[in-house]
Amino acid sequence: MRKISLMKNSIQEYEWGSKTAIPELLGQAGPAKNPQAELWMGAHPKAPSQVYLDGLWRSLLEVIAENPEEVLGRETAHKFSNELPFLFKVLAAAKPLSIQAHPNQGQAREGFLRENELGIPIGAVNRNYRDVNHKPEIICALTPFWALNGFRQVEEILRLLGEIQVQPLVETLSFLQEHSHRQGLKGFFYQLMTTEKAKQAKIVEEVVAFAEKRTEKEPVWTWIAKLNQAYPGDVGVLSPAFLNLVQLKPQQAMFLPAGELHGYLEGTGIELMANSDNVLRGGLTAKHIDVQELLSILNFTEIELTILQPQRVASGEAVYPTGTAEFVLSIVEVSGGAPFIGARKRSVEIMICTKGEATITDLGEGETTGLSRGTSVIVPAAVEQYRIEGEATLYKAAVPL
């Protein structure tokens, strides 16, 4: 594969998805019949993209397997065992996703081998580890995007929940008050997650009643009330009070390293992650929850959330810094008098146009491909250099060299 190629991508239909966001991006008439949650761009075995080559649509997974160095570049092919190391997505959340975290590389490998030895099928609902990879990820807002990310400062948790005098919660908060912050957070979360269901239900009921009277005061209370409408009685309803609640503005992003408890609540964004499917859930879901395993991978450290702004690195391109080996996300903006020229030395790149119209030209072959809203293309490493010109905004996924 030595040419810039158009892509045709799989859409994942999950119940929390939007019926309008992805269809509108792709220029489709009317809302979708079913909620459309994620548009996958990449070579994940579950749903690889199709690429247009020599008049035919072909699986990107197969194309990479035929000549990995042409597509990925020699360095990337060698480093990542001839596989595309990232998965690029458009994520459209009309309802909240589960509260979750992802393992680091060592935890993923150990957990995968352990579950294999136990004979748990890869597709089993009680399977925690479906591959040996870690799953760092970045989410960048296309619309105002609400999310949770990492534990709040202990003082904030105590301020928010300390007024609610329901006995099981008072007991749980006392552990947080009496121990060091890391130990206190772990004990607080463990007690909350393992309290018997009747007591959990009582805590949720009292906190929701408290929140519903204060929805005008802080977004925390609004979201607790909204989460209870979506997942009545679920202990995850309390998460805005102990996790950092943030609303990303368009083009703002946040990074999610291994072990950070997080959740996406509402909005449309660009998501880029290592090519893994390892998820450990802690609430707001009907799917499998393994509290003990989740506790073993979580980072029980208070964090002050860092909002990532794109940093200009070249004319027309700005990068979201994460330091991740598998991927780098950037935004490319071109206008009439300012085209973008791709670097000569680079890895494979996948781009999606989210606004406007442009053309991308292979400067070696002279071939030009049109780009409009919703169009995605792959630029293999074998392409010598390219130019994008027009009036458009694109998001680009690449492997850092």
Catalytic residue IDs: 281
Angle at 117 (CA atoms; ends 115, 122), nearest 5 degrees: 45
CA 349 to CA 161: how far, in whole Å? 46
* Residue (of 395, 380, 381, 392) closest to 138 by Cα position: 395
Q: Quick check: 359 and 336 in contact, CB under 8 A?
A: no
Other C-beta atoms closer than 10 Å to the C-beta of 135 total 24
Q: What backbone phi and psi angles, to 5 degrees, belong to 56?
A: -130, 150
CA 79 to CA 106: how far, in whole Å? 17
Give the SS3 label for residue 223. Answer: helix
- DSSP secondary structure string for all residues of 71-125: HH-HHHHHHTTTS--EEEEEEEESSPPPEEE---HHHHHHHHHHHHHTT--TT-T
* Residue (of 265, 266, 248) closest to 141 by Cα position: 248
Q: How deeply is 27 buried, as exposed, middle or buried, from its count of CB atoms within 10 A (0-12, 13-18, 19+)?
A: exposed
